């Protein structure tokens, strides 16, 4: 940067000296502008009346100072000699002035350039000091240590904004790595449970020298249940991982139809479903949207009261489509709602057998990848009200009239 500053200063200074020199040269009187016949001047001292130089100059001096003379030829010669002297003096003065300007400007430019280089060195060092701090923070940052921050103070200029952006990026990376480590730890803990069941079931049977058919059948059931448990967990983890890569499929989808399909394959047990399904046209991955709806319905059934109710509604509001799922259930503390959308978070203890704690996390992930939001609010009488808001499909035109619009009915227990 110092070399760049010095080079730019030298170029600008040289251009300024050249412009000044050109302007002065253009405004100084030129010799050709004096009306004088140089040939006549050269012949003024020639002829039969020529005198010695000293005598001629003395006579000319007296004549030019007002001494009268009758020699008209001498007066003419003196006048021409004077004019020639004026020309020579003007030319000499002009050349000397331009030469003096050029030398003095050149020396001044050299001194100023040297001073600019020294000043540029200090200024560049001060300006680049935040960049050095950014470099040091970037070098200190690693996957295992993201605590380094620039924390630049001073005026809010471009470098301060860059440093703040860098600190914000490190904050995001730190949260991401910490969340990833926590996610891996939780996933390992969850997968350890079915593996432990598998090993215990097998070891118990193998420890008996003559296992009966009933014991082998019981082991097979335990193994199948553990495998189903692990398979469901792995599928949930894969869903979360796929969502991090964005949507692979995007096509028009009606959430009302998706909700109907989900209810057709969901075992409500003794719960009663209240539906209000209006057309809710969005664009996205139909399989992921079905998974989102299925997780919310499963959550409303799983954490419901015996013989309790659940409500499922789809609608279009202010250019967005909404999916609302509510249920009766245990009272949810308002401060615990946000944690429910984190992976492996349950309302009660982590050892609960009711799911993996991934259902609402998958819902939030699917909504996010579709450009939507999820909002949950505990109900005063117990239970949870979850609202998913997604962008309405922009290329579908007005919502069509479906034959089962504003469906509202009570579904019998299945």
Share of the chain above pLDDT 90, in %: 11
pLDDT of residue 163: 80
Distance, in Å, from the CA atom of 84 to the CA atom of 37, rounded to the nearest integer, reads: 9
pLDDT digits (tens, 9 = 90+) for 161-201: 888 888 888 888 877 777 677 667 666 766 776 787 788 88
pLDDT confidence band for 254 (50 / 70 / 90): very high
**DSSP assigned state of 334:** G
Q: Which tokens belong to 214?
A: 């009933």
**pLDDT greater than 50 at residue 88:** yes
**Average pLDDT score, the chain:** 76
Inter-residue contact 216 to 205 (CB < 8 Å): yes
* Amino acid 189: pLDDT: 63
Give the CA count within 13 Å in the CB-facing half-sphere of 406: 1
Q: Tell me the mean pLDDT in the region 318-345.
A: 82
Beta bridge partners of 309: 272
Q: Are 309 and 272 in contact (CB under 8 A)?
A: yes
pLDDT of residue 212: 84
Determine the pLDDT at residue 255.
Answer: 92
150 or 356, greater pLDDT: 150
Confidence (pLDDT) at 365:
82
Residue that wins the pLDDT comparison between 413 and 280: 280
Q: What is the pLDDT of residue 205?
A: 82
Among 213-222, 387-396, 398-407, whose mean pLDDT is lowest?
A: 398-407
pLDDT confidence of residue 297: 92
Section 343-354 average pLDDT: 54
pLDDT of residue 43: 46
**208: confidence class by pLDDT, cuts 50, 70, 90:** confident
Of 234 and 183, the structure prediction assigns the larger pLDDT to: 234
> Given a cut of 80, is residue 108 above it in pLDDT?
yes
List all residues 6 or more positions away from 243 whose beta carbon is below 8 Å from its beta carbon: 288, 362, 365, 366, 368, 369
Residue range 95-117: average pLDDT? 87
CA distance 407 to 309: 17
How does pLDDT run across 312-322, given as a tens digit for each residue? Answer: 999 998 889 99
**What pLDDT, on a 0 to 100 scale, did the predictor assign at position 321?**
94
Residue 12, pLDDT > 70, answer yes
Nearest to 133 by CA among 171, 164, 155: 164
pLDDT of 341 > 80? The answer is no
Q: Say if residues 392 and 316 touch (Cβ distance below 8 Å).
A: yes
Q: Is 103 exposed, middle or buried (0-12, 13-18, 19+ CB in 10 A)?
A: exposed
Confidence check: pLDDT of 279 > 70: yes
Where is pLDDT greater, at 381 or 140?
Answer: 381
What is the per-residue pLDDT for 139? Answer: 75
- What's the pLDDT score for residue 235? 75
How far apart, in Å, are the Cα atoms of 371 and each of 108, 254, 315?
64, 16, 17
Alpha-carbon radius of gyration of the chain = 48
pLDDT (0 to 100) of residue 48: 42
**What pLDDT was estimated at residue 9?**
87
Which pLDDT belongs to residue 222? 83
The region of weakest confidence among 209-213, 233-237, 350-354 is 350-354
């Amino acid at each position: 940067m110092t070399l760049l500053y010095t080079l730019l200063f030298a170029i600008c200074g040289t251009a300024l000296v050249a412009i000044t020199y050109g302007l002065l040269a253009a405004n100084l009187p030129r010799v050709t502008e004096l009306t004088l016949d140089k040939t006549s001047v050269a012949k003024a001292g020639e002829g039969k009346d020529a005198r010695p130089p000293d005598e001629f100059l003395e006579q000319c001096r007296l004549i030019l100072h007002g001494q009268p003379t009758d020699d008209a030829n001498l007066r003419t010669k003196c006048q021409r000699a004077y004019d020639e002297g004026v020309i020579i003096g003007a030319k000499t003065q002009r050349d000397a002035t331009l030469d003096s300007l050029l030398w003095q400007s050149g020396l001044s430019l050299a001194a100023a350039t040297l001073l600019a280089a020294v000043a540029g060195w200090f200024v560049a060092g001060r300006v680049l000091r935040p960049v050095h701090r950014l470099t040091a923070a970037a070098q200190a940052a690693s996957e295992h240590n993201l605590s380094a921050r620039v924390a630049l103070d001073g005026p809010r200029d471009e470098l301060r904004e860059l440093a703040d952006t860098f600190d914000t990026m490190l904050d995001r990376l730190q949260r991401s790595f910490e969340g990833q480590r926590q996610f891996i730890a939780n996933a390992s803990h969850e997968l350890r449970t079915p593996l432990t069941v598998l090993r215990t079931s097998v070891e118990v049977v193998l420890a008996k020298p003559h296992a009966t058919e009933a014991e082998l059948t019981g082991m097979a059931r335990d193994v199948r249940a553990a495998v189903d448990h692990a398979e469901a967990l792995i599928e949930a983890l894969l869903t979360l991982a796929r969502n991090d890569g964005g949507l692979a499929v995007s096509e028009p989808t009606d959430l009302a139809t998706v909700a109907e399909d989900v209810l057709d394959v969901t075992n409500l047990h003794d719960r009663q479903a209240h539906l209000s399904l209006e057309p809710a046209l969005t664009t996205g991955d139909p399989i992921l949207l079905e998974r989102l709806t299925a997780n919310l319905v499963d959550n409303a059934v799983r954490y419901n009261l015996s013989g309790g109710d659940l409500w499922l509604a789809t609608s279009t509001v202010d250019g967005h489509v909404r999916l609302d799922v509510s249920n009766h259930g245990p009272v949810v503390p308002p401060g615990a709602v946000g944690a429910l959308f984190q992976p492996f978070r349950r309302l009660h203890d982590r050892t609960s057998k009711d799911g993996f704690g991934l259902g609402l996390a998958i819902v939030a992930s699917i909504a996010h990848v579709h450009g939507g939001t999820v909002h949950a609010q505990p109900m005063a009488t117990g239970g949870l009200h979850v609202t998913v808001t997604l962008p309405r499909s922009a290329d579908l035109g007005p919502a069509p009239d479906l034959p089962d619009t504003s469906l509202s009915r009570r579904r019998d227990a299945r």
